[in-house]
Amino acid sequence: MIPKHDFKKAVRAAINNPYLQQAMETCTVRRTDRVINSLAELKDLKQTRQTAQKIKQYTIDHLDEQLALLSDKLESLGVTVHWAKDARQAREIIIDIAHQHDCRHCVKTKSMTTEEIELTPALNEAGIETIETDLGEYILQLDNDRPSHIITPMIHKSRQEVGQLFQDKLHADYTEEPEELTAIARHHLREKFQQADLGIVGVNFAVAQTGSLVVVENEGNGRMVTARPGVLVGVMGMEKVVPSAKDLAVMLKLYIRSAVGLRLTSYTNIITGPRKSGEIDGPEHLHLVILDNNRSEILAGPYRNLLHCLRCGACLNACPVYRKISGHAYGTVYPGPIGAAITPLLESSNRLSEKLPEFCSLCGACLERCPVMIDLPGLLIQHKRDLIKKNRSSLFYKLVLSVWTWFYSSPARYRFSQKWARHLMRLIARNGWVTFLPPPGSHWTAVRDVPLPKKQLFRDLWKKTNGNP
């Protein structure tokens, strides 16, 4: 999480930013429509989701075994496998690899796992020039900015801002035409690809049976990164393993449609071992870094199903909260419902993350859209339970709910509470509506009125009319 992140300020800034609100509408609401339509093309969608869920369930239930299989297969192909306990170790391993091969220029694909371990700044600090080559990430890197979505990282940036940025940082003539902006970036990136001696990729799936590392992308930058540099390092969270190529087919089908609403991404890179003799491209040295970073603890507890996540971002696009506040307001690497659920576990020592489970109205849209049906609302409630157990929940709401429960646990007390609520509200009501309530009700009446409760509860009407209301 961003140190000292101010949630309230960030939420307000997002909601009061008209450009952002418009962009979010286009990129989340309409994206969700596209996702739904592309999934609807699958004639066995329900069954495919169940199959995918079963594959993930099996994999996570046998994670040690699957990772051992993957590791053995990779070693037999000549790939060096590294196990990173946490973010720091992962960074150290990768920097070591770079030094070992005397690499100076690194190009990388978009990868949330590398964001999680804060890899790019660490490499740059270690003297290895590291360039993000996904267009969105490239722009964010130039601007010292952070992704606000796990798939489409720069929803929050306008093309005018990008034009200005390219003028300032790349000394290009100002333009706000997307094609021209892309051409400028392409020109600069081409040079970086040619220079690069190290490639870093985020691995979407690793197939245990074949030892294949799968990188999906739409821009061709991933193809460059995996084909050109002599040294290639894949980075993945340990949950990204799938047992077989057959399983991969199921996962890809759901992942790509859920992520971008397409049948297939433009590039699906499947890398099986380093370059063999006679091959004209691909890395001579191939490494895979498998990251734990608290995943073992997640595996052992009630949040285990979070490891089923494919990181498709469909839950972000569907989430009403994310749609309004965008990614930065969460202050996390992973925003949206998945971010709210997993960040308190990935950064369990950070107390700021305790606020995240409240970023949810429990509408269930994320669960409905999740390709592997992770019960995110249920897990967010689980977080609240854990905070209560640790005595870290709000005392005020504890009191409110206890009083509420007391009144609502006997019909007589319930009736009494309703009667007095009405009496009190009548004192301040005008024309049958209450326009102001004391805190925390003031948050409600800031933009809404409250109708005065009816003179007679329905249950009293029922009695009075002998059950003929």
Partner 1 sequence: MDKTKVETTPFQVSLFTTCLTDSFFPDAAIATVRLLRHLGCEVDLPENQICCGQPQFNNGYHDQARKMARNFIDAFAESLCVVSPSASCTAMIRDYYESLFTDDPHYLPLAQELVSKSYEITEFITKILRIDLQTYKPQARGKVTYHYSCHNRGIDIPPQVTIDLINLIDGVEYIPLDKMDQCCGFGGTFAVKMPEISQALVADKAKCILATGADTVVVNDGGCMLNIAGYCHRHNIPVRFVHIAQLLAESLGLLKDLEGQPS
- Confirm or reject binding of residue 433 to partner 1 (CB under 8 A): yes
Residue 5: partners with Cβ closer than 8 Å, 6 or more residues away: 331, 352
CA dihedral sign, ordered 418, 419, 425, 429: positive
Q: Does 404 contact partner 1 by CB under 8 A?
A: yes
Distance CA 170, CA 438 (A): 54
Among 69, 77, 388, 429, binds partner 1 (CB under 8 A): 388
Rounded Cα distance between 84 and 292, Å, is: 6
450 belongs to the binding site for partner 1 (CB under 8 A): yes
From the list 26, 86, 178, 408, which residue makes contact with partner 1 (rule: CB under 8 A)?
408
Candidate segments 104-112, 182-190, 242-250, 403-411, binder of partner 1 by CB under 8 A: 403-411
Residue closer to partner 1, measured from CB, 300 or 447: 447
How far is 285 from 123, CA to CA, in rounded Å? Answer: 18
Q: Is residue 18 within the footprint of partner 1 (CB under 8 A)? A: no
Secondary structure class of 448 (helix, strand, coil): coil
Task: Say whether residue 448 binds partner 1 (CB under 8 A).
Answer: yes
Query: Looking at 186, 218, 418, 429, which residue binds partner 1 (CB under 8 A)?
Result: 418
Please state the closest distance from residue 456 (CB atom) to partner 1, in A: 7
Q: Report cis status (omega within 30 of 0) of the bond before 469.
A: no
459 binds partner 1 per the rule CB under 8 A: yes
Q: Using CA atoms, how far apart are residues 202 and 206, in angstroms rounded to an integer?
A: 11
Interatomic CA distance for residues 449 and 435, integer angstroms: 5
CA distance 219 to 57: 32
Q: Binding marks (x or -) toward partner 1, 75..94, rule CB under 8 A?
A: --------------------
Q: Write down the number of H helices and E strands in the chain.
A: 23, 13
Are 124 and 167 in contact, with CB atoms under 8 Å apart?
no
Q: Considering only CA atoms, which of 31, 109, 29, 1 is closest in space to residue 328? A: 1
428 forms part of the interface with partner 1 (CB under 8 A): no
Residues 360-379 that bind partner 1 (CB under 8 A): 360-365, 367-368
Contact stretch for partner 1 (CB under 8 A) within 7-15, 54-62, 175-183, 253-261: 7-15
Describe the strand order of the beta sheet including 285-291 as a list of residue ranges.
Answer: 80-84, 285-291, 231-237, 198-202, 105-108, 129-132
Q: Which two tokens stand for residue 386?
A: 């854990």
- Count of positions on this chain that bind partner 1 (CB under 8 A): 66
Question: Would you give the binding string for partner 1 spanning residues 24-43, x where CB under 8 A is met?
Answer: -----x--------------
- Residues making contact with partner 1 (CB under 8 A): 8, 11-12, 15, 29, 320-321, 323-325, 358-365, 367-368, 381-388, 393, 397-398, 401-402, 404-405, 408-411, 414, 418, 421-422, 432-433, 435, 440-441, 443-444, 446-451, 453-454, 456-459, 461-462, 467, 469
